[in-house]
């Protein structure tokens, strides 16, 4: 996700034109133009996504894989087309490796319950890091309770980077799975997952990457990475909510038992014996989120049309500008100063609780996230209750950064900095 | 939406210099309140004289609304009995949740400064945390008394 601002300018990434693709950005909030800086929580959707969903709903909807009638075929084509689109997006070998789920959370739970519950037991270890989202902590804690395996946590340093030496030191023959974020949602840290995957594999451990905060900010190639599982949510990639993806290497998915039972995931059912469907449907019990998958496919088309490298470069220039400008505001402390960061800027303002900061910014039309960002251990590590977090996306501009900084200065004035 | 109305001088002052702040020892009762959504935490300690609050202190970490509300509450309830505290809480609750409630300064005193909160529904919980915690402390004390 390295970026070169000059390059962006040369390529002419036109954020103003991009904004026009997102109807919601024309809204006013509290009498002011909306400045949306909360895309790490959920991105907004471009017209291309809204239209793809509308087209599916108005022309193609029926249940998938079930009927001989024309609409069922159209829906199945749309849904499986989105799977093939996702395969290309991640450069997976086969669409059998693409399981549609509700989001990153469900993808991680699937691996914990299917792979973890059938394979892990006492003496086995799962290794995560101290910067994980609760979605990449709690499923493993539940698995440990269920199977007796042990959770190990690699620490982070004051910049918010995983201490790689310590993580490597925690790897051993007992480590069965390493589960780490690609990008930290609370701090913006880009995790050197290539190194971690290599080292984990050398110890015989599998690797799950929580890519929820990564896929909108850089191209991801699961074959080049060599990870075993990769999970993300559609709604952080300018797609709909309620749809997400779990990539899993085919050999692994083939060996894993189903985790939910029902329709769609079976081949034959009798009261004596049920046989399961092939990949990936074995893991997709029940009627899936068809229009969500269609919208997600359209979102992938959209970001690839803009160019993920160009988006990343644009966001990096905003991140750099916002960091520099905020650092000049008296009382500001940036939380998360990793050498390599994605489009997330967490900060605190002395004397002003993040909750108050969020309210003051909202009154100026500036939407940011305040709180623990579902990463309470990160807050504990920095000994703070919460942070304010601005996050950047393809549609943000220098004017958004200026509005953020001005609103933070207003907060500083209200609280007498 | 009016920021000046939310962050009135009284609120900012009590946030910066909370009154009755820090543990009360010995205490007859205490309770801890936690708002997991925003991470606000506070502890309320009481010294009781029958069912009258003889002394009250609090400590905690929270936003300006939460801290100022707790500070103002300690000043307002000191010396009151349980029935009077309950009556006061009901008036405060109406003030916080109903934008048309009369900020009746005559009965609410400085607590009327919390009137701006009703325009910010997401912040009502910040202002009520201390009252819930006080209630829990009073109930604890009742338990303790009834078991003796
Ligand atoms: C790093 C990370 N992992 C997992 C998740 C969970 O995503 P979802 O709630 O869409 O399942 C998030 C969302 O905030 C996240 O930022």
Give the per-residue pLDDT at A68: 87
Looking at residue A9, what is its pLDDT? 44
- The per-residue pLDDT for A1 is 42
Instruction: Write the pLDDT tens digit of every residue in A386-406.
Output: 999 999 999 999 999 999 999
Cis peptide bond N-terminal to A187, omega within 30 = no
The closest alpha carbon to A265, from A242, A282, A250, belongs to A282
CATH code: domain B3-146 is 3.90.1010.10
Which residue in the list A5, A149, A352, A374 is annotated as catalytic?
A374
Rounded mean pLDDT of chain B? 89
> What mean pLDDT is predicted for residues B26-43?
89
Nearest to A187 by CA among A135, A233, A104, A131: A131
| pLDDT at residue B99 is higher than 80 | no
Q: What pLDDT was estimated at residue A417?
A: 61
Out of A30, A359, A372, closest to residue B39 by CB: A372
Tell me the per-residue pLDDT of A242-278, one tens digit each, with 9 for 90 and over.
999 999 999 999 999 999 999 889 889 999 999 999 9
**Is A352 annotated as catalytic?**
no
Chain B CB contacts of A371 below 8 Å: 37-39
SS (H, E, C) chain A: CCCCHHHHHHHCCCHHHHHHCCHHHHCEECCEECEECECCCCCCCCHHHHHHHHHHHHHHCCCCCCCCCHHHHHHHHHHHHHHHHHHHHHCCCCHHHEEEECCHHHHHHHHHHHHHHHHCCCCCEEEEECCCCHHHCHHHHHHHHHHCCEEEEECECCCCCECHHHHHHHCCCCEEEEEEECECCCCCEECCHHHHHHHHHHCCCEEEEECCCCCCCCCCCHHHHCCCEEEEEHHHCCCCCCCEEEEECHHHHHHCCCCCCCCCCEEEECCCCEEECCCCHHHCCCCCCHHHHHHHHHHHHHHHHHCHHHHHHHHHHHHHHHHHHHHCCCCEEEECCCCCECCEEEEEECCECHHHHHHHHHHCCEECEEECCCCHHHHHHHCCCCEEEEECCCCCCHHHHHHHHHHHHHHHHHCCC
Q: Which positions in chain A have a beta carbon within 8 angstroms of at least one beta carbon in chain B?
A: 30, 351-356, 359-360, 362-363, 370-372, 379, 385-386, 414-416
- A97-126 per-position pLDDT tens digit: 999 999 999 999 999 999 999 999 999 999
Q: What is the overall mean pLDDT for chain A?
A: 95
Structural domain spans, chain B = 3-146
Give the gap in angstroms from C-alpha A411 to the nearest C-alpha of chain B: 10
Q: What is the pLDDT of residues B103-116, one digit of tens each?
A: 666 678 899 999 99
Q: How far apart are CA A415 and CA B29, in angstroms?
A: 33
Across the range A298-325, mean pLDDT stands at: 98
**Could you give the domains of chain A?**
2-33+307-414 (3.90.1150.10), 51-304 (3.40.640.10)
B101: confidence class by pLDDT, cuts 50, 70, 90: confident
| Neighbouring C-beta atoms of residue B36, cutoff 10 Å | 10
Quote the ligand 1 centre to A212 CA distance (angstroms): 5
C-alpha span between A153 and A131 (Å, rounded)? 9
Give, for ligand 1, the residue of A110, A374, A389 to mutate: max count of ligand atoms closer than 8 Å to Cβ: A374
- The pLDDT value recorded for residue B145 is 42
**A193-206: average pLDDT:** 98
pLDDT digits (tens, 9 = 90+) for A35-68: 999 999 999 999 999 999 999 999 999 999 877 8
- What's the pLDDT score for residue A8? 43
Position A194 pLDDT exceeds 80: yes
Is residue A94 predicted with pLDDT exceeding 60?
yes
**Is A132 a residue whose pLDDT tops 60?**
yes
pLDDT at A323 > cutoff 90: yes
SS3 of residue B108 by DSSP = helix
Which residues of chain B approach chain A closer than 8 Å at the C-beta? Answer: 1, 3, 6-7, 12, 16, 37-41, 61-67, 120, 122-123, 126
């Amino acid at each position: 996700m390295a970026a070169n601002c000059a390059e962006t300018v040369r390529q002419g990434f036109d954020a103003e034109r991009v904004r026009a693709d997102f109807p919601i950005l024309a809204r006013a909030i509290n009498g002011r133009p909306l400045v949306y800086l909360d895309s790490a929580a959920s991105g907004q959707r471009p017209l291309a996504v809204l239209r793809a969903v509308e087209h599916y709903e108005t022309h193609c909807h029926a249940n998938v894989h079930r009927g001989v009638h024309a609409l069922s075929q159209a829906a199945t084509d749309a849904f499986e087309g989105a799977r093939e689109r996702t395969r290309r997006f991640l450069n997976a070998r086969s669409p059998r490796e693409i399981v549609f789920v509700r989001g990153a959370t469900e993808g991680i739970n699937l691996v914990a319950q299917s792979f973890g519950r059938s394979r892990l037991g006492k003496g086995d270890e799962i290794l995560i890091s101290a910067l994980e989202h609760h979605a990449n902590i709690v499923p493993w804690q539940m698995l440990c309770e269920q199977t007796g395996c042990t959770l190990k946590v690699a620490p982070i340093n004051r910049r918010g980077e995983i201490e790689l030496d310590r993580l490597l030191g925690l790897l051993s023959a007992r480590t069965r799975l390493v589960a780490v974020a690609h990008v930290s949602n609370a701090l913006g840290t880009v995790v050197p997952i290539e190194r971690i995957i290599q080292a984990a594999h050398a110890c015989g451990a599998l690797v799950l990457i929580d890519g929820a905060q990564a896929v909108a900010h850089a191209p991801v190639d699961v074959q080049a990475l060599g990870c075993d599982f990769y999970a993300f949510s559609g709604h952080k990639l300018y797609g709909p909510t309620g749809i997400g993806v779990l990539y899993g290497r085919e050999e692994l998915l083939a060996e894993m038992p189903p985790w939910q039972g029902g329709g769609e995931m079976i081949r034959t059912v009798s009261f004596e014996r049920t046989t399961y469907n092939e990949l990936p449907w074995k893991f997709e019990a029940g009627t899936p989120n068809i229009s969500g998958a269609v919208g997600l496919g359209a979102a992938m088309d959209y970001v690839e049309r803009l160019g993920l490298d160009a988006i990343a470069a644009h966001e990096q220039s905003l991140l750099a500008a916002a960091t520099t400008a905020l650092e000049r505001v008296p009382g500001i402390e940036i939380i998360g100063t990793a050498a390599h960061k994605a489009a997330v800027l967490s900060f605190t303002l002395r004397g002003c609780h993040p909750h108050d900061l969020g309210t003051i910014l909202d009154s100026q039309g500036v939407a940011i996230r305040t709180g623990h960002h579902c990463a309470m251990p990160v807050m504990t590590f920095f000994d703070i209750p919460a942070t304010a977090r601005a996050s950047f996306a393809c549609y943000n501009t220098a004017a958004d950064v200026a509005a953020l900084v001005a609103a933070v200065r207003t907060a500083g004035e209200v609280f007498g900095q | 939406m009016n920021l000046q109305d939310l962050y009135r001088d009284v609120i900012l002052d009590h946030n910066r210099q909370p009154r009755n702040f820090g543990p009360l020892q010995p205490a007859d009762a205490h309770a801890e309140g936690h708002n997991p959504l925003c991470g606000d935490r506070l502890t309320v300690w009481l010294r009781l004289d029958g069912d009258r609050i003889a002394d009250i202190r609090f400590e905690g970490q929270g936003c300006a609304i939460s801290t100022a509300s707790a500070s103002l509450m300690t000043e307002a309830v000191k010396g009151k009995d349980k029935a009077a505290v309950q009556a006061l809480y009901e008036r405060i609750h109406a003030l916080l949740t109903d934008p048309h409630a009369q900020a009746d300064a005559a009965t609410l005193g400085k607590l009327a400064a919390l009137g701006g909160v009703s325009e910010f529904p997401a912040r009502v919980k910040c202002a009520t945390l201390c009252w819930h915690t006080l209630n829990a402390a009073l109930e604890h004390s009742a338990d303790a008394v009834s078991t003796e």
